[in-house]
Structure 1
Amino acid sequence: RIKKISNLENLKNLDVLDLHGNQISKIENIGHLSELRVLNLARNLLTVVENLNGLDSLTELNLRHNQVSAIKDVDTLPCLQRLFLSFNNISSFEDILCLADSSSLSDITLDGNPIAQETWYKHTVLHHMMQLRQLDMKRITEEERRMASIAARKEEERKRESHRQTLLKEKKRLTIGNIARQWEIQQNRIALEASLSKDKENEPCQINGSDAYVFPEESRSLDTILSSTVQGLSVLESHLVEVEGDTLGLYGAGALECLDRNWSVQTAGIIATVSFMFIEFDEIVQVLAKLKAKFPNCVHLKFKETNLVALQQFSALAEMHRMEQLTVDPQGNPVVNFTLWKYYVLFRLNHFNLQKINGVKVTENDIVKAERLFGILAYVASSELPHYRMLSLFGESRRKQFHYLLEGKGKKSGAGSEESDNRRSGGESTARAMLNYMTKDFHMEKLE
């Protein structure tokens, strides 16, 4: 069997060359056959179609049953009309892209290739080779061309949308990374200021008869480094607002400004979960009233990297309209390290009838345990607090209820009755209201 094309130098007027059924692995030494009309290389060992320049009269090229995976130079054949590529290894349109540039090609076969198994195969080929009359030995109708054009447009739109989504995801990743770095810098700054403040309180101390202190230049240089880092990051967005399904994601303190926007009734009504990341919890507290008004169907709050450090901070959530789930990520929320934090939440936000905390279903035993752990504490707090101070903590409706209790009109019903009434009306009990909200800074001052 023939393994190499050779010894054709003197056959310049050759019309048909049939070399099918051999072991030829490369097309070569035929560029001088300018009169050749038909070339049959079926059932050989070809992997790449190339070196076809100079075959200016070639009208038919048979390459069936080879191992072809890539095609080159076919678009340079000015008279090629029929190309047979059945049963090869062509797996993508990019492998045969040069065929789209051929203006003379009218018949082509690609059946038996991996590409022919793709759903987009026919539409893509017809869209890029508008001049074709037959594909895989079947005549192409005008309706098929029209459908191919429509399908190709949809595919292009899908690719554009996919590309757009990829860009958006990358932008989101970079933005969140930037917000996270700014948050870290902010936390480092706070820690530095606290450390310097502590050092100042301990000054002066005598070392060999002289005062030792932190040189202003040292603290200034560090502050300059932090500031320059923030400026370098500000090229990217410093906050992100994202609506995904029924979840509103807020990243960075600037994202809280979105609560001042005019949201459509439909979008606002869909939001069931609000997720906060890289925002001080005490800043979130200031917009809870807006959150409640803007998203009436919100039943799930999520906190991550929000500096929840004290149990009393959870008390601020009592002003929400309703809440069925609460998720507090351990990352950036030291309060989760307290063993009893969940029970405090259950006790303090008892009027919400919470269903889940951190994805775990709340049981009746959890509620009983919370009552036992914190019920006495709340009772003591409410008993020892002067009436005028207690009244200052209540809203108007709670003041009226408290006066009612003081006058003895509610004594017969008892504390249990008050508790059940509050549960039914969605309000919090008097004792629980005594465990009021405390900011992180106030908590840290108390610790000092």
Structure 2
Amino acid sequence: MNRFSDSKERFNEPSSRPSYDQSQNQRGQTGLADAAFVVRDRKAYQEEFRDDSSTVSSTRPSRMSSRSGSSKRTVREMNQDRKLLERLDLENRQLEKVPDLRQEESLKLINLQQNRINDLTNLKYLRNLVFLDLYDNEISDLFHLQPLINLRVLMLGKNKIDRIHGLENLTKLDVLDMHSNNISELSGLTHQSSLRVLNLAGNKISQVHGLQKLESLAELNVSRNQVVNVQDLEKLPYLASVYLSYNKIAKWEDIWCLGDSVSLKELALDGNPLTFENSYRYTVLASGIKLKMLDAKRVSDEERRMASSLLKKELEKKRSEELAKKRSQRRQLAIDNVLRLWKSENRKNAAEVVSPDLSPFSGQVTVLDIGDSHLIEYWPDSKTVRLFGTESIQHVEKVLATANLGGQIHAIHLRYAAGAQFLDKLPRLRSRLPSLTTLFFG
């Protein structure tokens, strides 16, 4: 089938979709390397132009012309002329403006790449255009694109565009390629609800957000920008491919929205700081994304299992850390309460009371009993039990019996409590603590 014979059918065929694998080998290049993400093979388009209209740019056929030696024209010949009238190749003609083609209103596909065009005024006569290639020109103002209400493919790579504008009326756009320009913000795309492919590689974009209106978007390329943060992509129901290679993304939290995408199948993050971590690939796969390709490498079932196992361990570690943090906070709160209570009960000496010095105690600590105004804890490294508050004296005998640490305790340290009450209990405690040798008060 002729690639240009049926524009509607061509835009729907899978083969016209971008090929990340084919363009990966050209990643280090600029210009056409990024265009390859949007059009599978630009040269194929050029060849189609040449095959269908080898002399179209210099000897356009007259609508009334007929072949020499034939008084009647066949349907095939008329169809061929019609095709020639719909396609025009003006590549590399040193043009500085779009030529006046008001007599060619039937034009549907025009190739103007690799010229020096900076004036698009005459596009207003080409309202039937479906495909417009302006790659590698000197365009900065897009205002004169507004009359092209039937445009489906717009190629604007490698120009001098610093902002996206003038596309409000181009509601039928299917492919928009603006790679290798000077664009710094994602804006001016709120009317492109039919857009499936957006290529903004090689620009100056730092934030990817505000694309919720592109509800048909299937492929987004913002490689080789300055992206540090990505938001709202999980709201695009058909987004299958995202290319974020060679940006400044430092951690997974900066692109967390991708983990909530239900449609994403291909993701490229290579060349970002977060990929330098050893567990990067497993972290991405464990995020919940059902990826088939990550950084141009197929995701295996084994990788998914390992990522799931890693995620489980990470979650357990996080829960353990959170629990330890809560225990530490509660322990400190108990000590602070004991100190306040002790100061209130001993107002004469309150000025001399200081917070406990924990520096002699190091290593792991086990809380044996805790309340709002008491704390009993065991330090295995020094084989010491610490009691905070007078109320701890009331609980210590029962707590030590339950903990079954009798032979392991060599010292007891009492803080902010009445020593006389503790000494009354000491005979009974000694029978349970045969290794006890030292008491500390204060």
TM-score (norm 1): 0.54
Name the structure 2 match of 1:123. 282
Q: Within the alignment, does 1:247 sit opposite 2:406 as a pair?
A: no
Name the structure 1 match of 2:219. 60
- Give runs of aligned pairs for residues 316-355 of structure 1, distance below 5 A: none
CA shift digits 1:215-258 (9 cap, x unpaired) = xxxxxxxxxxxxxxxxxxxxx62211112333321101221231
The separation in 2 between residues aligned to 1:260 and 1:77, in whole angstroms, is 61
Name the structure 2 match of 1:147. 306
Name the structure 2 match of 1:289. 427
- Aligned partner of 1:286: which letter? D
* Paired residues of 1:71 and 1:95 also in contact (CA < 8 A): yes
The separation in 1 between residues aligned to 2:277 and 2:265, in whole angstroms, is 22
Name the structure 2 match of 1:50. 209
Aligned pair partner of 1:133 in 292, 309, 314: 292
- Specify the SS of the correspondent of 2:313: helix
* Paired residues of 2:264 and 2:289 also in contact (CA < 8 A): no
Name the structure 2 match of 1:29. 188
* Paired residues of 2:169 and 2:191 also in contact (CA < 8 A): no
Displacement of 1:165 in angstroms is 1.5
Name the structure 2 match of 1:403. none
* Paired residues of 1:37 and 1:59 also in contact (CA < 8 A): yes
Displacement of 1:166 in angstroms is 1.4
CA shift digits 1:267-303 (9 cap, x unpaired) = 3333333221112222232233334333333444333
- Aligned partner of 2:170: which letter? L
Distance change (3 Å), C-alpha of 1:294 and 1:122: farther
Name the structure 2 match of 1:237. 372
Displacement of 1:10 in angstroms is 3.4
* Paired residues of 1:70 and 1:90 also in contact (CA < 8 A): yes
Displacement of 1:27 in angstroms is 0.7
Distance change (3 Å), C-alpha of 1:97 and 1:272: same
Distance change (3 Å), C-alpha of 1:120 and 1:286: farther
Displacement of 1:89 in angstroms is 2.2
Distance change (3 Å), C-alpha of 1:190 and 1:300: closer
The separation in 1 between residues aligned to 2:307 and 2:214, in whole angstroms, is 32
The separation in 1 between residues aligned to 2:276 and 2:384, in whole angstroms, is 40
Distance change (3 Å), C-alpha of 1:190 and 1:57: closer
- Specify the SS of the correspondent of 1:128: coil
Aligned pair partner of 1:164 in 293, 314, 323: 323
Q: Within the alignment, does 1:186 sit opposite 2:186 as a pair?
A: no
The separation in 2 between residues aligned to 1:184 and 1:151, in whole angstroms, is 49
- Aligned partner of 1:244: which letter? W
What is the aligned-residue RMSD (CA, Å)?
2.5
Q: Within the alignment, does 1:113 sit opposite 2:272 as a pair?
A: yes
Distance change (3 Å), C-alpha of 1:182 and 1:88: same
Q: Within the alignment, does 1:15 sit opposite 2:152 as a pair?
A: no
* Paired residues of 1:99 and 1:129 also in contact (CA < 8 A): no
- Give runs of aligned pairs for residues 303-382 of structure 1, distance below 5 A: 303-304=441-442
Distance change (3 Å), C-alpha of 1:117 and 1:293: farther
Displacement of 1:14 in angstroms is 2.5
Name the structure 1 match of 2:398. 260
Displacement of 1:262 in angstroms is 5.5
Distance change (3 Å), C-alpha of 1:70 and 1:281: same
CA shift digits 1:162-218 (9 cap, x unpaired) = 111111111111111111111112212899xxxxxxxxxxxxxxxxxxxxxxxxxxx
Displacement of 1:122 in angstroms is 2.8
CA shift digits 1:308-359 (9 cap, x unpaired) = xxxxxxxxxxxxxxxxxxxxxxxxxxxxxxxxxxxxxxxxxxxxxxxxxxxx
Aligned pair partner of 1:85 in 221, 228, 244: 244
Name the structure 2 match of 1:96. 255
Q: Within the alignment, does 1:4 sit opposite 2:142 as a pair?
A: no
Displacement of 1:4 in angstroms is 0.6
- Give runs of aligned pairs for residues 379-394 of structure 1, distance below 5 A: none
Q: Which runs of 5+ in 1 are unaligned?
A: 192-235, 305-448
Q: Tell me which moved more, 10-19 or 69-78.
A: 10-19
- Aligned partner of 1:5: which letter? I
Distance change (3 Å), C-alpha of 1:117 and 1:289: farther
Q: Which has the higher contact order (CA 8 A, sep 6+)?
A: 1
Displacement of 1:2 in angstroms is 1.6
The separation in 1 between residues aligned to 2:273 and 2:409, in whole angstroms, is 46
Distance change (3 Å), C-alpha of 1:270 and 1:139: farther
- Specify the SS of the correspondent of 1:8: coil
* Paired residues of 1:62 and 1:84 also in contact (CA < 8 A): yes
- Specify the SS of the correspondent of 2:286: helix
Displacement of 1:265 in angstroms is 7.7
Distance change (3 Å), C-alpha of 1:254 and 1:96: same
The separation in 2 between residues aligned to 1:120 and 1:275, in whole angstroms, is 45
The separation in 2 between residues aligned to 1:108 and 1:190, in whole angstroms, is 67
The separation in 1 between residues aligned to 2:349 and 2:202, in whole angstroms, is 76
Aligned pair partner of 1:280 in 418, 424, 430: 418
**Identity of counterpart residues, as a percentage?**
38
Displacement of 1:139 in angstroms is 1.4
- Specify the SS of the correspondent of 2:386: strand
Name the structure 1 match of 2:73. none
- Give the total of aligned pairs: 261
Q: Within the alignment, does 1:177 sit opposite 2:312 as a pair?
A: no
The separation in 1 between residues aligned to 2:407 and 2:184, in whole angstroms, is 67
- Specify the SS of the correspondent of 1:263: helix
